[in-house]
Amino acid sequence: MNKIILLPLTLLIFFGAFAGELAKGSKLYQKHCASCHGVDRAGTVAPPLLPLFLKKIPEKKLIYIIKNGLPATQMPAFPQLSEDEIKSIIAYIKTPAKINWSEEKITNSISIENLPTKKLPIKNIKNIVAVVERGHQKVWIMEETKILDKFDFRNVHGGLKFSPSGWKLYVPSRDGWIGRYDIDKGKFFGKVRACVYLRNISLDRTGKYILVSCWLPRSIVILDAESFRPVRFIKQDGLISAIYELYSKDKAIFTYRDKAVIGFLDTKDFSIVYKKIKEPYEDFFIDPFEKYIVGTSRKGTQLIVYDINADKEIFSYPIEGMPHLASATFWYKNGKFYFATPHIGKPYITIWQMYKWKFVNKVNIRGNGFFVRTHPTTPYLWTDNGKDKIVLVDKNDYMVKTVETIKGKRVIHTEFSGDGNLAYVSLYNKDGALLIYDSITLKLIKKIPASIPIGKYNIINKSRKYAPYLLGKDVFLAKCWGCHHQTQSAFGPSFKWIVNHRSKDIIISHIMNPEATYKQLGYKRNAMPRLDLSEEELKAIVSYMMEFKDAENN
């Protein structure tokens, strides 16, 4: 009987002591921390102090930071606080908090910089590369091997997006801030805080709106891309994995980590249609021709293909280790389209055929990789494996070779210039570097010191609308190179001449059935072979051709 009475009494004492500790921590927090981190811990001039941001930081490190501050930041030291007082603050900031966010708070957060403009010496906007230097909280604007400008952005982590023209760059942070750099004016425009914890951003296909997926509060926020003013605040009851725009229609697609649903957002009226699926897609990509969604779950037991037009899953394949589908890469060879993806926590990448969906190969890269990239200019898939070498996988026979970098430095994330001639590779260390290689000879051209450089972003390689263009270059090299040149006359007219003198419909008709169209084009006889292209090959080659259309003829 005594034991039954003592147990609740013990619990009451424990919870009473814990409540007292939290009350003490709350009081100390409001006195010492609230002016920078916010009364509600949502952050103001300093980052949020909430469980989502703190769960991976050991208590010992938090104690050290509060006691000693952080050099080169606005975080001061608090040597006057005892260790017990600091532990009370830590206990308090690790408890859940109710976050209220609103369109009014978004509007009040808008900060527009009044900086002078400057003209950057840009030769080709499509070769601009934005580099995230996480260690110094900076973003670089580069072309080829030159840094043209740098700007500060606190808590930058990646996920940068270009406007459709490429002349504006949008930069998100995990704590909800979105900044814009105007490349055409050579200056940082300003920033806005869309929410407290941000997953990713996208732009609608016109570039008019910024689409923001948020975890705190759970929402989709639509912002005017020019003024940053909120247009719509759409509450959600799940954790969104990511949101991506479609380039072919006024839609965006998002999925959840914790709900077996796909959301289709209309980017004109902001209505949402939800479609049920069998299990949540915690990571996904949309195929280059916007017919399918390829998704997977954190459990990593299935790779699934969802047909957007048919509203159903049409393919699944058992796998081990969650594919990192957001970093998948695409290419074309021998009449077929492929993608490759790394697997989180597994020492391999996998190769898959698209459109006649099937598993092709598992390639051992001898370590846990996180990114895989390619470009029509290179014969390789460029990946990393958590070590100090670049891992190259031949796209024809899947044989593996490595490129030495700097011993003991961790290689991560390759990206290419728009033309594919240069490969940018990060050495992901505090005393790391950005390495720039000739993508064909694999010769190191330049090494630029950098502190924890991570993502590199180029409009051709990172904007979804250019995926068919890149695949079309592969189709061109396989099917058209013998008779046509991109800009010069060869056996046949150049692509540049064709797209500036013929309609898109005529071009498609002539590719599909030249015998039926050659007279209409003024030829006495037909010299164009019938290529029997698949629907995807045709879309790819036409997309590639249309990039040579002069601006005045668009």
Per-residue pLDDT reduced to its tens digit, 247-301 = 999 999 999 999 999 999 999 999 999 999 999 999 999 999 999 999 998 777 8
CA distance 134 to 428: 9
Highest mean pLDDT among 99-103, 304-308, 487-491: 304-308
pLDDT for 383-410, tens place per residue? 999 999 999 999 999 999 999 999 999 9
Q: What is the mean pLDDT of residues 58-80?
A: 81
What helix, strand, coil percent values describe the chain, rounded to 5?
25, 35, 40
Please indicate whether the domains covering 2-93 and 323-469 agree at the CATH topology level. Answer: no
All residues at 6 or more sequence positions from 219 whose CB lies less than 8 Å from its CB, including other chains: 101, 195, 233, 234, 235, 236
pLDDT at residue 20, as a whole number? 65
- Least confident range of 18-22, 47-51, 192-196, 270-274: 18-22
- pLDDT over threshold 90, residue 46: no
- pLDDT over threshold 60, residue 378: yes
Categorize the per-residue pLDDT at 76 as very low, low, confident or very high, splitting at 50, 70 and 90. Answer: confident
Alpha-carbon torsion, ordered 12, 16, 19, 21, to 10 deg: -130
Categorize the per-residue pLDDT at 71 as very low, low, confident or very high, splitting at 50, 70 and 90. Answer: low
Task: Provide the CATH topology of domain 481-553.
Answer: Cytochrome Bc1 Complex; Chain D, domain 2 (1.10.760)
For the 99-236 domain, the top CATH level (class) is mainly beta
Q: What is the mean pLDDT of residues 443-468?
A: 96
Structure tokens given for 36: 């920078």
pLDDT for 360-374, tens place per residue? 999 999 999 899 999
pLDDT at residue 281, as a whole number? 96
| Mean pLDDT, rounded, of the chain | 92
pLDDT for 165-182, tens place per residue? 999 999 999 899 999 999
Among residues 206, 255, 268, the alpha carbon closest in space to that of 465 is found at 206
**Which carries the bigger pLDDT value, residue 6 or residue 319?**
319
Phi-psi region of 187 (alpha: psi -120 to 50; beta: other; left: phi over 0): beta
- pLDDT over threshold 70, residue 7: no
Among residues 463, 462, 474, the alpha carbon closest in space to that of 395 is found at 474
pLDDT at residue 306, as a whole number? 98
CA distance 29 to 93: 8
What percent of the chain has a predicted confidence (pLDDT) above 70? 94
pLDDT at residue 551, as a whole number? 65
- Least confident range of 57-66, 128-137, 235-244, 460-469: 57-66
pLDDT for 399-439, tens place per residue? 999 999 999 999 999 999 999 999 999 999 999 999 999 99
Per-residue HEC secondary structure of 373-413 comes to: ECCCCCCEEEECCCCCEEEEEECCCCCEEEEECCCCCCEEE
pLDDT at residue 553, as a whole number? 61
- pLDDT over threshold 60, residue 220: yes
Categorize the per-residue pLDDT at 554 as very low, low, confident or very high, splitting at 50, 70 and 90. Answer: low
CA distance 457 to 469: 17
Q: What is the mean pLDDT of residues 435-455?
A: 97
CA distance 442 to 447: 14
Domain ranges of the chain: 2-93, 99-236, 237-313, 323-469, 481-553
- pLDDT over threshold 80, residue 19: no
Beta bridge partners of 315: 305
pLDDT at residue 505, as a whole number? 95
Q: What is the mean pLDDT of residues 148-169?
A: 95
Among residues 479, 460, 458, 456, the alpha carbon closest in space to that of 469 is found at 460
The whole-model pTM stands at 0.89
Domain 2-93 sits in CATH at 1.10.760.10
pLDDT at residue 26, as a whole number? 81
The amino acid occupying position 477 is: L
CA distance 302 to 312: 16
Architecture of domain 323-469: 7 Propeller (2.130)
